[in-house]
Amino acid sequence: MAATVENKLLAVVRVRGTNNVRESISHTLDRLNLKRINNLSFVFGTKSNLGMVRKCNDYITYGEVPQDLVEKLLAKKGLKPTGSVSELVSGKKTPKDLGIKMPLHMKPPRRGYRDIKAGFNAGGDLGYRGEKIMELVKRMM
């Protein structure tokens, strides 16, 4: 999994709330700009960012996003980046460099979540979901 997401842009969505969360995980969620449920943040897959994502694996879901989905999402939210979205996708610039304030506040997904206490491969919603993150983000737009 780590080799597949390194050097790629990830969409990270917070799925679970804050009750009974260890303080270290809570701080890590804050560093990822995921302070509330249904917040979405773009994170580039560096080694340190992937470590933070793995630490919060029981509270978030994430996967790689293509450039066209990022453009659609920013247009839907009414955000106009000051630079090119391709610079964001390639990791040359951060959302902050492009004037995009993170996190993006999303609606709850249409038809809801499947199970917020089980991993994605076990029929739930937590953890790594690869390209299928696009389906969730489209349901949240």
Query: Could you give the 3-state DSSP secondary structure of residue 63?
Result: strand
Q: What does the alpha-carbon distance between residue 133 and residue 40 come to, in Å, rounded to a whole number?
A: 11
Strands 60-64 and 39-44: unpaired
- Residue pair 8/118 in contact (Cβ under 8 Å)? The answer is no
Q: In which residue are the tokens 């349901």 written?
A: 139
Give the pLDDT confidence of 17-76 residue by residue, as tens digits: 888 899 999 999 999 999 999 999 999 999 999 999 999 999 999 999 999 999 999 999
Q: How confident is the model at residue 3 (pLDDT cuts 50, 70, 90)?
A: low
Structure tokens at 67: 């450039």
Structure tokens at 84: 């090119």
- Residue pair 125/113 in contact (Cβ under 8 Å)? The answer is yes
Give the pLDDT confidence of 79-111 residue by residue, as tens digits: 888 888 899 999 899 999 999 999 999 999 998
In DSSP terms, 105 is beta-bridged to 39
Backbone angles phi, psi at 57, to 5 degrees: -55, -25
Structure tokens at 99: 């004037």
pLDDT given at position 63:
94
Ordered domains of the chain (ranges, CATH): 2-140 (3.30.1390.20)
